[in-house]
Structure 1
């Protein structure tokens, strides 16, 4: 496997750990901070190819450090009901901030990936990445903007809004994972 493919493999598995939320007795088997630090390792390997990877690395480090407390605090479980309270508002606020930082991380990762694809004459991959980036930004910003409104509507409507946002977020995160895996496959074949 080539160095670029190895770097994208690390990034893929790092995001997979962040994406997975497997709990046993309230114990998260895959803490987000471990995933973010694996992403940091992959981005460091790519930093010579684009300054965007260096910028993404800063946000991955920030998310890795910031997600350590959430490992101990926990997250909102929308299946248990949604009751606005001070702690709910604080958790939603910190979650929204983390989501926006994650958005910036993805933005710089994909901008660097576009540069890398163009450097290696992979125009189709670069165009796919540009389109996925637009979709990702639109969906994530829409969810981030609409989520606070859940505090001011009925519980049923709030659960519906949060569920739709969660599904949309799930779909675009899968889209990004698939794209990262495509980079891994293509760059393994290019430099093999």
Structure 2
């Protein structure tokens, strides 16, 4: 995610993206149950992203630091799980819609992108372990960053194909 902040305010908050997802999935919801489920799941993501619009830095010597970090960790895990389910539903919706319209190539590509997305998520979680290994941690994080860019470009190409052929 890209966070650009001025005076603790997020200039491009995640809530805008989730609202756009909600609107777009609302249009697609009639064509697949997967899109309808993904649309419904964007609602908790909209709510969960509201506090991220304004974030103050937490002092290290704060008395409640542990409870704040625990709460943020819980919100982060819940957000990650919901996001993965949303992405799964979107890719499955694309697969279903493309098979209905006879575009098997798009269906196969949607499945491939889903598998790549899930492996990238596993690799990102693995970074929390690898980060403690000197030198390898830098190579690992750079590799994940490059893989994320490549996957994002490939997903955008898939979405363009969907717009053109479906």
Give yes or no for TM over 0.5.
yes
Unaligned runs of 5+ in 2: 58-64
Q: Are 1:69 and 2:51 an aligned pair?
A: yes
Determine which of 149, 164, 167 is the counterpart of 2:129.
149
Instruction: Say which structure, 1 or 2, has more relative contact order (CA 8 Å, 6+ apart).
Output: 1
Aligned residues: 158
Hey, what does 1:95 align to over in structure 2?
Answer: 76
Larger Rg over CA atoms: 2
Q: Which residue of 1 aligns with 2:61?
A: none
Displacement, 1:186? Answer: 2.2
Structure 2 Cα separation of the partners of residues 74 and 182 of structure 1: 41
**C-alpha distance in 1 between matches for 2:33 and 2:154:** 24
TM-score, normalisation: structure 2: 0.76
Unaligned 5+ residue runs, structure 1? 1-18, 76-84, 188-192
Structure 1 partner of 2:117: 136
Superposition CA RMSD, Å: 3.0
Of Structure 1 and Structure 2, which has the larger fraction of its residues in helix?
1
Whether the aligned pair in 1 keeps the contact of 2:34 and 2:92 (CA below 8 Å) is yes
Whether the aligned pair in 1 keeps the contact of 2:10 and 2:52 (CA below 8 Å) is no
TM-score, structure 1 as length reference: 0.67
